[in-house]
Amino acid sequence: MSSIVFITGATSGFGRASARRFAAAGWSLVLTGRRLERLQALQDELSAQVPVHIAALDVRDEQAVRQVVAQLPEGFRPIKALINNAGLALAPQAAHQVDLADWHTMIDTNIKGLVNVTHALLPTLIETGAGASIVNLGSVAGQWPYPGSHVYGASKAFVQQFSYNLRCDLIDKGVRVTDIAPGMAETEFTLVRTKGDQAASDRLYRDTTPLSGEDIAEQIFYVATLPAHININRLEVMPTRQAWSNFAVDRDKA
Ligand SMILES: NC(=O)c1ccc[n+]([C@@H]2O[C@H](COP(=O)([O-])OP(=O)(O)OC[C@H]3O[C@@H](n4cnc5c(N)ncnc54)[C@H](OP(=O)(O)O)[C@@H]3O)[C@@H](O)[C@H]2O)c1
Q: Residue 180's pLDDT is what?
A: 98
Q: Mean pLDDT throughout 5-21? A: 98
- Give residue-wise pLDDT tens across range 56-105: 999 999 999 999 999 999 999 999 999 999 999 999 999 999 999 999 99
Q: Residue 178's pLDDT is what?
A: 99
Q: Mean pLDDT throughout 117-126? A: 98
* Active site annotation includes 205: no
Res 1 pLDDT > 80:
no
Q: Residue 196's pLDDT is what?
A: 97
Could you tell me where the DSSP H helices lie in the chain? 13-24, 36-46, 62-70, 100-106, 114-128, 150-170, 189-193, 198-205, 213-224
Res 24 pLDDT > 90:
yes
Distance 109 CA to ligand 1 centre (A): 10
Rounded to a whole number, what is the distance in angstroms from the first to the last CA of the chain? 71
Closest ligand 1 atom, CA of 187? 19
Specify whether the CB–CB gap between 32 and 68 falls below 8 A.
Answer: yes
Q: Mean pLDDT throughout 126-148? A: 98
Q: Mean pLDDT throughout 15-30? A: 98
Average pLDDT over the chain reads: 98
- Give residue-wise pLDDT tens across range 47-58: 999 999 999 999
105 phi and psi, to 5 degrees? Answer: -60, -40
- For atom 14 of ligand 1, the residue with the nearest CA is 13
